[in-house]
Each structure stands twice: as structure tokens, then as C-alpha cells.
Amino acid sequence: MMSINAARVGAVIRKELTEFRRSRFVVATMVVVPLVFLVFPTVAILAQHPAGPSASLDQGVGFFLTYLLVIPVLIPSTIAAYSVVGEREQGTLEPMLTTPVSREEILIGKAAAVLIPSVGIAYLVLGIFLAVLRFGADPLVAAAVWHSPYLLAQVFFIPLLAGWAIWICLAISSKASDIRVAQQLGALASLPPIALTLLLSYQVINSTLILAASLVGALLVIDCAAYLLVSRLFDRERLVSGTKPGSA
């Protein structure tokens, strides 16, 4: 296993974050997506006035909290999809690949640079949602949210789902030859969490603590496997020449 040089990973993160900050598209994605996915559950939950604690109230609260989980999937999927293919298109990948930086350092740096703002924004949105509930929602609804097992699950799901989206999109970006194709395919990474949200909201799947814990464990395994897969896909020769390494 190759050793990872933290300074080089830091250099990649710093460069990526500077580029994000100066890209209107990235900044717009980081502002618009959270707003869109914050407004609906907030308005909907403020409109709830239940007569008393009930199973349907808990289910509804669970749905709104799960809905917020689309944010840590959508933001990284649009940004990470650009990450590798974008460098290829502007010709910056080849000079970078001729330096001592390893592919693991590049990938970890790129992933971390997307993960940091994505998770930060997702937690910020969750915080705003909870603050609005605390001061504006029916006390019964607020109590249901604060005591919902989903709230605890949010804390774990946000980084794990972001990791899922990042690795899937980095894999797509490493294989794609066009930025638009990569971003369109990257959007597909958000489908599984959205599907899960729908299944939970229509009670096809019953939300339980065991289910949440299982999903957290599964996501952890998937994230690690995805990292290994992307490491294999990130081959210098294929990225530079567009051909499979050793093809003869």
C-alpha cells in the first residue's frame, strides 16, 4: 500500500477549493440545491398541527428528514463529476500526473475537497431546519423531530451519502470523455437515496433503527469499495492517452 503524503493531499484540496470558490456554476450549485431542498420540508412541517403523538407523525417526520439527505448527494454529484474529466479537457491533468503526486493522493484530495463543503452545507441546512422547527413548528412536531431516530441517522448518513456520491462521480469522471456526459451520469448517483426516500415515504420499507444502522454499515462498506474501484480506474496511461494500459 502506497504511503499518503498529507502535504500533497492538502495541496490538491487547497487548489480544488480555490477553483470551486471562483466557479459560478459550483457556487450556484452550492446555494441553489440546499435552498430548494430546505424550503419544501420546512414549509410542510410548519404546516403540521397534529392532535397528539402518533405513528403517522413519526413517519412524516422521518420522511422530511430523509428528504434533506438528498442535499449531500446532489451537491457532490454535480461537482465531483467535473473533477477529473474537467482537468483532462483543460489540459491540466497531464502536467499534474508528471509530478510525484500519487493517484491515491490526487483522489483523496479531490474527494475531500468536495466532501468538506458538501457535508458542511448539509449540516448547515439541517441546523437551519432544526432551528426553524424549534421556534416556529407545533411543539408536538418539534418534539417528534428531536426524538426521532432519523435525526441521529442524519449525522451519520450525511457524510456517508456524500462519500457515495463523490466516489461514484469520480469513477464516472475518470471514465468519461466529456464534461456534460459526466455530469448527466453523475446525477444518477442521487437516484438510490431518492428511491430510498420514496420507499420510506410510501411505507414500502418500514423505517426502524436497525434498518438505519444497517444502511450506515452498508454505506461504509460501499464507500470503501468505491474508493478502491476508483483507484483502479484512475490510471495514468488511460487518462493521458485514452487507451487501456498495456493494450497491445
Identity of the residue, 56 or 90, whose beta carbon is nearer to other proteins in the bound complex: 90
Q: Does 213 bind other proteins (CB under 8 A)?
A: no
In whole angstroms, the minimum distance from the beta carbon of 214 to other proteins comes to: 39
# chain residues binding other proteins, by CB under 8 A: 33
Terminus-to-terminus CA distance in the chain, angstroms? 28
Gap between the Cα atoms of 38 and 226, Å rounded: 29
| Interface residue with other proteins, options 49, 55, 90, 135 (CB under 8 A) | 90
Interaction of residue 170 with other proteins, rule CB under 8 A: no
Cα–Cα distance, 31 to 121 (Å, whole number): 9
Burial, 138: exposed, middle or buried (Cβ in 10 Å; 0-12, 13-18, 19+)? middle
Determine, following the binding rule CB under 8 A, whether residue 49 of this chain makes contact with other proteins.
no
Burial degree of 242 (CB within 10 A; 0-12, 13-18, 19+) = exposed
Note whether 245 binds other proteins by CB under 8 A. Answer: yes
Check if the beta carbon of residue 215 is closer than 8 Å to that of residue 152: no
**Shortest spacing between CB 236 and other proteins, in angstroms:** 5
Binding to other proteins, residues 117-146 (CB under 8 A): none
Minimum CB separation of residue 37 from other proteins in Å reads: 27
Backbone angles phi, psi at 132, to 5 degrees: -65, -40
Site for other proteins, rule CB under 8 A = 5, 7-8, 10-11, 14-15, 18-19, 22-23, 90-102, 236-237, 240-241, 243, 245-248
